[in-house]
Chain A
Amino acid sequence: MCCFDESPHCYLLEIDDFTILLDCGWDELFSVNLVDSLKQNINKIDAVLISYPDLLHLGALPYAVGKLGLNCPIYGTVPVHKMGQMFMYDWYLSRYDSEEFAIFDLDDVDKVFDRMTVLKYNQTIALKGKGYGITITPVPAGHMIGGTIWKIVKDGEEDIVYAVDYNHKKERHLGCCELEKVTRPSLLITDAYNMLYQQPRRSARDESLVVSILATLRSQGNVLLAVDTAGRVLEISNLLDNIWHNKEAGLFAYNIVLMSKVAHNVNEFAKSSIEWMSDRMVKSVDDARNNPFQFRSVKLCHSFEDLKKIPSPKVVLASMPDLECGFARDLFVMWCGQPNNSVIFTQRTSPGTLARYLVDNLGRVLSLQLDVRSRAPLAGKELDEYLQTKKQKASETMEYEESSEDEDEISGPVGHDIMVMEEPRRQGKKPHFPVFPFHEEKVKVDEYGEVVKHEDFLIVDGVEEAEKDISDAQEEPEEDMEIEEIPTKCMSQSKILKLNCNILYIDFEGRSDGPSIERLVFQVKPRRLIIVRGSQEACEKLSAGCQAENIWMPQKGDHINATIERHIYQLLLKDSILKDLMFKKCRESEVAWVTGQVVYDTGSTDIEKSDVAEAKKNQPHLDLVDYNLIPSHKTAFLNDIKLSDFKQILGKNGIPSEFIGGTLRCCGGNISLQRLETGKVSIEGTLSEDYFKVRDLLYEQYAII
């Protein structure tokens, strides 16, 4: 477990001998040290729980499953499954566009999502085998579609809640987290990432976004919004689509584009996942039959070809948010020189990424040395060389290719739950042609069987080629794009960019901020707390505000033993004892004082099958006890009242009261009530009828047993 930094979420939770991996995130830069410890523990892991579909929470999964051989069930909600796959496709394709990328491939991504067990919110699943007795339940968390707070319960009593990056606020497209509904978990694992941060009001934030977009567009500039693939982008695109539609905003004349490798699919999934969104979205479908993700103004783009057709000035929402790869980086390079353009960041990415560097140094960075990477087709000499090697190898691998082709055909129609998975895979095979998913490529594959073969080659050969060529980088004209069969290579060129454009950071992260985190954790009242991910200061602030019995702030790699001795056993209650109990209501429960005698009897009343009865024989029963043996007990007042609530009750009974310096005074100051500390109330007064009246009312607030 790690803390005190901003490394992605990835924690091991061991319950007895069952090991659960909580999230499996990776940073945008593929830091090796992050997966090292994962590598060591990979064989121990019995289950993986994923909270959100983004890189921060599942980025390392393809690597873990594909390359480290992680082989256990993975659990996530339906949208986390769908959108998570889109995140991974987009990440891979964006990376592949600019460099030789071999950390994982699309097959690994597919493997991950084939393995995933999808759940609905509040669907409790009992784990099997070694994990017998453990149940897991996803609870809505906000932040991103399908976002999950995990509730892990052992033996029906020991509940562990894993809640990170949740959002307690309702948003346009998402409901809020339901962390409040969790009370007194025995262990809460949460983050302190936003602890020291206070959010601007939503309306102010939206307004500043609109204002800066409008200003840029009016000065004929373009706006680049660096967004993620399939998470927060839904919120931003939905917001902008609505603003565009609003005639008063005056944006209708300009163009707005959503650009990523998987924009179409993300949009389709969003359209069919309305039941996972806020009540407002659902209502829009139910009442107005108007799907909020059927965009009226936002256009979808999958390549620069598409983008070119859309006249400037325009607003482009492009991935990836870190500017390390993807369309966002390319657009940044293209646009950052002109002073009338704007680049808006909507979330903070990992330290070390370009986007984070710019956000952290807003206004201070004037120029930047940057590797401009691209993938270009081979030409001239290189192409000849390539073709020769290809011819040589063609005959050798013929058989292999045929079989792989067969596989492809089979897996096409039936291999996946979700049909769209197929498309991005094909995109991978023609990486130099950023594909527009409407494009029916199947036909081409069928017609030109050999095309597939060439390209399969390409991935293998491309690596060698690129290594050779990486030094003598050169720029290739784009028109070669037309020829599909041409092999490609990666190029990198270091450039110095002048940053003349406006750079802004507007928070669209959709996470709870410091004060809210503090309030929520206080409300939840965890018995024990583990704080992960956040600066030291932030972690300490959170721990100071919480009254848990134990609080841990583990360093990376630390092993915490959060075991507590659990005393628990079951006792069957006899009807005879239940009959006489007088239950009193207290909050949502009913309470009664009970005294009984433990009896191990072989209750002959069992009419069930004999083996069941056998098992029950040894269960202790609680039976009536002799009157004399009943020990007297101290009266217990159950419940905890707030004086402000009591004030209203007094008011209802015609007794006016007021607060003076923390004490509640009533009856002309003759009686005063004070709440000394949690669970302690004092009532003071002079001997009078009113005193007893007030006392009776006070007693009514408690279950007295």
Chain B
Amino acid sequence: MSRRKEAIPAEESDQLTIKPLGAGQEVGRSCILLEFKGKKILLDMGIHPGLTGMDALPYIDTIEASEIDLLLISHFHLDHSGALPWFFAKTSFKGRCFMTHATKAVYRWLLSDYIKVSNISTEQNLYTEADLEASMLKIETLDFHEEKDVGGIRFRAYHAGHVLGAAMFMIEIAGVKILYTGDFSRQEDRHLCAAEIPAVRPDVLITESTYGTQIHEKREDRESRFTGMVHDIVTKGGRCLIPVFALGRAQELLLILDEYWGQHSELHDIPIYYASSLAKKCMSVYQTYVNAMNSRIQKQIAISNPFVFKHVSNLKGIDHFDDVGPCVIMASPGMMQSGLSRELFESWCTDPKNGVIIAGYCVEGTLAKHIQSEPDEIATMSGQRLPLKMRVANISFSAHTDYQQTSEFIRALQPRHVILVHGEANEMSRLKAALIREYETMPEVEITVYNPRNTTSVELTFRGEKAAKVMGSLAVHKPVEGEVLSGVLVKRNFNYHLLAPSDLATYTDIQVSQITQKLAVHYSGSVSTLHFLLLQLAGHVEKMDEVKSSFRVFDVIDLTVDKNMITVEWKGSPVNDMFADAVLVTILRAETLNEPSVKIDDYGAKFEWDKFKDSLVEMLRDMFGEAAVPKSVTKDDFYVTVDDKKAIIDFYNLKVTCEEDLTLQKILQTAVSRLYNSLAPISAIQM
């Protein structure tokens, strides 16, 4: 059985393999491999923010990059797109890569910034600006809801919330639908819409599990907590640091702060700085791709651009910053690994008047995560230890789904398989347990939840029914039980069509062709010699034209003898070519022979049943042993006994019957027919 499995080519196999190469029981370096029907798809190509150099990459070395057909990038965050230039430049990947317009636009600047930052901290550089430029040429874009087809893989993007341009991908291969959510949020915020619930039900859902079973506080609550805390810190004369990722949530926070400042005139003296040239660069992207935002922004943007802030000023760098009094600074990176947010934190952390608000999700091992456990001391970049006295608050604005949203999402979609990625091991297993518990009481809903580790694959089997559409002259009447259908099966993008050859041109772009062949052979012998030999060969020669001496042999090969030349003409096909070869050999032979002495009309190949019987007996004895065929068999009573099973052979009709063993019958039937075909003269076999 297992051997047979191997025999099935990958594209016919029913097995769907999902293998996280990154983001399996971890957050960061998202990269998931999908394999089905011989198609290989990668979802996202991120780097791990907590690791550096080659370590930050997903486990690409475990796969063959050249075999990947399609790469889909869900959104521009580094942990989803950060390794893309490397993947293009340093691997043999030659498939196609898609992302949304907005993602591509931001990706360009975000990664360019990342390259600069990496240069400063002299990390091992994965790729250069030139690699990034080159990748821009290879990335193709798609719009939300637009359907694309890459070699039979059909996919479309849905709004995912989260950040500008973030998409969920519904991928369909041979009727099996897989939804990859990327990072998503079902909560509409100031500028983004909530993640959509696709109208079609996926068979497999690959979803993020960043927040596991946690439940977010309400949007109003967290906003008022945030503004309240900022207000409190600055009015007490402190400095408020908000480490953020330059793009994405930062825009949302700026919209909130700008609005809050607008409502509170007493705060107007206190500056809000936004220390990111990157965000400034990307503002034009935010202004252009309004179609990817919610309707509120789309309405507003026609009057005045909400992304032109009244109370926020841009800060070019720490050199331009005059640290004199209370202020609010948003600075990247969001997890304070290094850079401006780290510098500011280190210079402010000793003053209890100051405060830091962690607004995004933090990966294990980063400073932002570390200070949430409220340590007394922290280590600076230079290795010095400083007491931590400033206020630390964690107000999550991270637009990831929480348990409530995930659970609703799954309930609405009802996938049969849920695969969790992009979440820390503990959160993930908690979410898995919670989901299983939720559906425990509903035996009618079949949901299996998986949480694979990196490079461990989940294997699912989809017994896809393969249906062919019968069209044209084959389909004139409805099929009847037992009817034998014969035609060309055309397979395209996992769709099958069964057509008569004559209908091919009508329904497909395939044309039926004909190749006529004409060979000229030198011949100086006599016509009658040739005629004789041809008779010997074919048993029957049709004389086409007495005068010109032209013959037709095997009903398909035309010969015309003309002076010292014979032209052989036929329509190409494997059988006809074989006949033609035989005829050619005959011609060459005829040239070396003298006139035959036999009267040619009498000669013709005949079929002798007795000879056939003897041959058959010999063959069957070879096949099944001496004892299988009794010595006394006659043509009218011919039977074989194999393993005590008796098979009767109806000699003249070449029919085998064996009621006990159908396999034996089939084997015998094949053997008998083939022997007959090889012994009988060609004229006796109907072609």
Contacts and interface: CB of A to CB of B under 8 A. Distances in A.
Interface of A: 78, 119-124, 137, 157, 183-184, 265, 268, 271-275, 282, 285-287, 289-291, 416-420, 525, 527, 567-573, 575, 578-579, 581, 583, 586-600, 605, 607, 619-620, 622, 625-641, 676, 678-687, 691, 695, 698-699, 702, 704-705
A679 B512 CA distance: 6
Nearest to A685: B519
B390 to A, nearest CB: 36
A587 B510 CA distance: 7
B146 A625 contact: no
A592 B498 CA distance: 10
Given A572-B465, A631-B484, A78 B291 contact: yes
A23 B385 CA distance: 73
Interface stretch (B116-124, B299-307, B421-429): B299-307
A578 B491 CA distance: 11
Nearest to B503: A567
A589 B508 contact: yes
A123 B482 contact: no
Nearest to A590: B491
A640 B509 CA distance: 9
A147 to B, nearest CB: 15
Contact of A641 (B289, B484, B513): B513
B156 interface: yes
A112 B342 CA distance: 55
Contacts of A691: 519
Contacts of B505: 679
Given A123-B145, A567-B475, A636-B488, A687 B513 contact: no
18 contacts: A157-B471, A418-B298, A525-B509, A568-B469, A572-B466, A583-B491, A586-B510, A590-B490, A595-B484, A596-B484, A635-B574, A637-B573, A681-B513, A681-B516, A683-B518, A684-B518, A687-B520, A699-B515
Contacts, number: 276
Task: Name which of A286, A567, A581, A698 has the most chain B CB atoms within 10 A of its CB.
Answer: A286
B664 interface: no
Interface of B: 7-8, 12, 101, 104-105, 108-109, 136, 141, 143-148, 156, 281, 284-285, 287-291, 295, 298-303, 463, 465-476, 478-492, 496, 498, 501, 504-522, 572-575, 584, 654-655, 666, 669-670, 673, 686-687
A638 B145 contact: no
Given A157-B469, A287-B108, A682-B517, 16 more contacts: A78-B291, A157-B471, A275-B289, A569-B469, A590-B491, A591-B488, A596-B485, A597-B482, A622-B485, A628-B673, A636-B512, A638-B488, A638-B513, A681-B513, A683-B517, A698-B515
Contacts of B482: 597-599
A571 B470 contact: yes
**Looking at chain A's contact residues, is the secondary structure mostly helix, strand, loop, or mixed?**
mixed
Nearest to A567: B475
Contacts of B512: 636-638, 679
A271 B520 contact: no
A589 B491 contact: yes
Contacts of B298: 417-419
Contacts of A588: 492, 509
A704 B572 CA distance: 11
A637 B575 CA distance: 13
A634 B573 contact: yes
Contacts of B301: 268, 272
Given A273-B291, A275-B291, A122 B146 contact: yes
A69 to B, nearest CB: 28
Contacts of B484: 595-598, 625, 629-631
B285 A682 contact: no
B554 to A, nearest CB: 14
Nearest to B140: A279
Contacts of B284: 285, 289-291
B521 A686 contact: yes
Contact of A291 (B287, B584, B666): B287
Contact of A635 (B468, B522, B573): B573
Given A123-B147, A596-B484, A635-B573, A680 B513 contact: yes
Contacts of B519: 684-687, 691
Contacts of A183: 509
A685 B520 contact: yes
Given A420-B302, A594-B498, A691-B519, A272 B288 contact: yes
A177 B7 CA distance: 44
B517 A275 contact: no
B660 to A, nearest CB: 17
A590 B468 CA distance: 13
Contacts of B465: 572
Task: Name which of B108, B472, B489, B504 has the most chain A CB atoms within 10 A of its CB.
Answer: B489
Task: Name which of A265, A567, A599, A607 has the most chain B CB atoms within 10 A of its CB.
Answer: A567
Contact of A630 (B144, B300, B486, B510): B486
Top-4 shortest CB links A-B: A419-B299, A640-B511, A635-B573, A567-B475
A419 B289 contact: no
Task: Name which of B109, B145, B288, B463 has the most chain A CB atoms within 10 A of its CB.
Answer: B288
A275 B101 contact: yes
B647 to A, nearest CB: 15
B488 A679 contact: no
B466 to A, nearest CB: 4
Nearest to A600: B481
Nearest to B144: A120
Contacts of A157: 469, 471
Contacts of A570: 467-470
B518 A682 contact: yes
B316 to A, nearest CB: 17
A687 B521 contact: yes
Contacts of B478: 569
B136 A591 contact: no
Contacts of B469: 157, 568-571
B479 A620 contact: yes
A680 B514 contact: yes
Given A286-B105, A420-B302, A683-B516, A591 B491 contact: yes
A550 B515 CA distance: 29
Contact of B479 (A122, A578, A598, A625): A598
B515 A681 contact: yes
A289 B295 CA distance: 24
A285 B302 contact: no
B108 A695 contact: no
A591 B514 contact: no
B146 A681 contact: no
A306 to B, nearest CB: 19
A579 B8 contact: yes
A699 B515 CA distance: 9
A581 B101 CA distance: 43
Nearest to B280: A289
A548 B578 CA distance: 38
A123 B154 CA distance: 12
Task: Name which of B478, B517, B687 has the most chain A CB atoms within 10 A of its CB.
Answer: B517
